[in-house]
Amino acid sequence: MTSVGATDTRFALAENQAWELAEEFGTPLYVLDESHLRSRARTWKAAWPHGDLSFASKANSTLAVLRIMASEGLSIDVASEGELRAALRAGVPAHQCRLHGNNKTWEEVSFAAAVGVGKAIVDNFQELELWQEANASLPLLLRLAPGVDPKTNAKISTGQADTKFGFPIADGQAMEALRLAIESGLNIVGFHCHVGSQLLDPGAQVQGGVQLAWFARAALNELGFVAEVINVGGGLGVRYTESDDPLPIPEYCKRLYAALSETLSDSLSPELAQEPGRSLVAESGVTLYRVGAVKKPALGDRYVVVDGGLSDNPRPALYGSRYEVRPIGVTGPGVPSRVSGKHCETDLLFTGLTLPEDLGPGHLLQVLCTGAYNSSMASQYNRYPRPATVLIRESGRADLVQARDDWESMFARERLPEDL
């Protein structure tokens, strides 16, 4: 691992490592560093001794990542039956899993109840009925909408009043849901919220947590309900570019805990839980691309076209996300450049860059901070194979933990009627 700045905690490959991995495993290639992953998990565990720390596996549900997180003592937040099955395949005990989802099906609820997930987070009134039908005794948390609008991309804002997630507090739905759950005999143990992602300041998550704490006090006063768990979700941001300045994990946790403790006062002492995802894995990964065509249009910056694109990183197209891009082994004067993919779209991956003028076909680019939401959001658009994932072990060995799609696997689910 190389150091990339005084306050920069991102993993980056050395030049010789990048070339060796590209030659052995091909490109595009996701690369994760085991030592970095474990270090992030341990930093989080040390900073949050107040209760359950759960890895939001939607960020990266590669089986190797799930096993590492579980081995470091984290529970696993799963948002679907597929993510739950991934955790189980990774050897994570069901009781160490936390089931999420805003539209759970009967199949998901009954499967989760059958295997014995540790906790489930209930999103809506219809779901309350499903858990009753499943006759489930497992601990349940009500997901609440605290009415907090975070300063982040609108597509990853989830805690505001107008949201598809959870029971709104402001209009009384949350208290009504709690009353119904108690009357129906469900094992409600507390409350959950998640206000949004890529939060570079703890303000929104603190507000959300404080709203949960106030609601817990109101539930005690109105219904005599004693909350055993308050889960404030996740959302701490990471350093995608030099302009991003996320609060250090210990300071972030310190501020959040102080606000929760002050609000709860002496009336309640629940377990306090968090669900980091991106903050645990994003900075532990990079993506390697190989340069193909280089074009200079009549107007605008030069195009550097790589052998990947929005099928292996849809975030720039979805959210306008920015990343730091580093050429491998190419130096010299820079020229304004933009990196595009090879799909049948505009497919602009990275813009506003200055890259060496000598950068050309066959050279490698390393993109930092791609450990979260790249592999898990990858597709086969244009029938391009999804990339492989390599894990650099603590010993320095590189292990393939996710194979690149091959043509047989790509077409395995296709069925061609014989009479066509």
Catalytic residues: 344
> How far is residue 305 CA from its own chain's centroid?
27
CB 101 within 8 A of CB 77: no
Non-local CB neighbours of 14 within 8 Å, separated by 6+ positions: 2
d(CA 12, CA 14): 7
d(CA 253, CA 390): 31
Strand segments, DSSP code E, in 126-177 are: 140-145, 167-168
3-state secondary structure of 304: strand
What sign does the dihedral 58-59-63-68 (CA atoms) show? negative
Strand segments, DSSP code E, in 89-238 are: 97-99, 119-122, 140-145, 167-168, 188-192, 229-231
The pair of three-digit structure tokens given for residue 228, joined into one six-digit string? 């055993």
Among the listed residues 27, 2, 135, the one whose alpha carbon sits nearest the alpha carbon of residue 363: 27
d(CA 247, CA 228): 29
CB 364 within 8 A of CB 18: yes
Buried b (16+ CB within 10 A) or exposed e, 249-264: beebbebbbebbeebb
CB 128 within 8 A of CB 186: yes
Non-local CB neighbours of 324 within 8 Å, separated by 6+ positions: 10, 240, 241, 242, 367, 368, 369
3-state secondary structure of 210: helix
d(CA 37, CA 179): 41
CB 307 within 8 A of CB 27: yes
Query: Facing residues of 392 across strands?
Result: 33, 398
CB 63 within 8 A of CB 79: no
